[in-house]
Amino acid sequence: MGFSDARFDVNLSILFTELPLLERPAAAAAAGFTAVELWWPWTDAPVPAQRQLDALRNALRDAGTQLVGLNFYAGQLPGPDRGALSVPGEESERFRANVEVAADFAQSLGCTALNALYGNRVQGVDPAAQDALALENLTLAARAAHRVGATLLIEALNAPESPACPIVSAPKAIEVVDAVNAATGLDNARFLMDLYHLARNGEDLEAVIDRYTPLTGHVQIADNPGRGAPGTGTLPLEDLLDRLHTNGYAGWTGLEYKPGNTPSADAFAWLPRPQRATTAP
């Protein structure tokens, strides 16, 4: 797999953010990319106005970019307050209101991967109660994803940046994947393997790949330390992608790194332009 064989997409919620949202698909296309992913773009609006949904849909289509991954509503990202579905009260209600909206938007663009981020532990609330709420909401999300032919993704974050999040290891994320699949019987929940987050957690990345590739529905990369482009840190990302390929992974690899002090368009020197335009797995 390596860099030459991987199918890369660009996360437009962390790259090209120097531009307004509706200009980012065209900027990604100008940089040579044909596939993109997004966190939920409207952090204060789980149910945005139809004109906002239409405008983003049109921007993606006009640019010729395929949306291959979308987060459900998860509050303000990035940040330690990320995630909503296990937070009692207003945040989980926002998540529930967003589920069908996000699923329908994904379906309208042929997007088949929907990421649902767990919420932080809340002081004074029984963790078991939060986990029960999470499973209830993840069940709703899995059913909505199934309705539109999509996979539900469960991601492990990292403890240094999200110390109150309970999903900060690959085994814990897999535990949630298994619980959702058992609850729904749909078998459409999968692991989102973010190599940056796992590295920040100090996990053995080769062992994670060997053990969990069959349960992986999407991969994201950034170098560590720094969350920059490949080559700015110490992770052997090309070797790790090779290992994923050897273990049978043939899906998308999302570029979810910070561009540093340069314009986003200048943050792809590590990837030859012919390798940026990819087709669906």
**Predicted confidence (pLDDT) per residue in 262-275, tens digit:** 999 999 999 999 89
| Pairwise CA distance, residues 112 & 156, whole Å | 20
Instruction: Name residue 153's beta-bridge partners.
Output: 115, 190
Q: Of 37, 91, 155, 203, which is the active-site residue?
A: 155
- The reported pLDDT for the residue numbered 5 is 80
- DSSP class of 265: G
* pLDDT mean over 169-179: 98
CATH 3.40.1350.10 fits 2-275, yes or no: no
User: In percent, how much of the chain has pLDDT > 70?
Assistant: 97
* pLDDT mean over 144-169: 97
- The reported pLDDT for the residue numbered 245 is 95
Q: Where are the domains of the chain?
A: 2-275
H or E element, residue 35: strand 35-38
Contact in structure between 191 and 164 (CB atoms under 8 Å): no
Residue ranges with strand state E in 203-251: 216-221
Return the C-alpha torsion angle 117, 227, 218, 116, nearest 10.
10
Question: Is position 136 annotated as part of the catalytic site?
Answer: no
* pLDDT mean over 232-239: 97
Cα-only R_g, the chain: 17
- The pairs formed by 264-270 with CB atoms below 8 angstroms and a separation of 24 or more are 264/15, 264/16, 264/17, 264/18, 264/19, 264/27, 264/31, 265/16, 265/27, 265/30, 265/31, 267/15, 267/229, 268/31, 268/32, 268/229, 269/229, 270/3, 270/229, 270/230, 270/231
**Predicted confidence (pLDDT) per residue in 103-141, tens digit:** 999 999 999 999 999 999 999 999 999 999 999 999 999
Is the pLDDT assigned to residue 169 strictly greater than 80? Answer: yes
Q: Of 37, 91, 203, 256, which is the active-site residue?
A: 256
Q: Which residue has the higher pLDDT, 230 or 1?
A: 230
Residues 6+ apart with CB under 8 A from 255: 8, 9, 10, 11, 15, 220, 221, 222, 229
Contact in structure between 141 and 188 (CB atoms under 8 Å): no
H or E element, residue 259: none
Question: Is position 256 annotated as part of the catalytic site?
Answer: yes
Is the pLDDT assigned to residue 281 strictly greater than 70? Answer: no
Return the C-alpha torsion angle 50, 53, 54, 56, nearest 10.
160
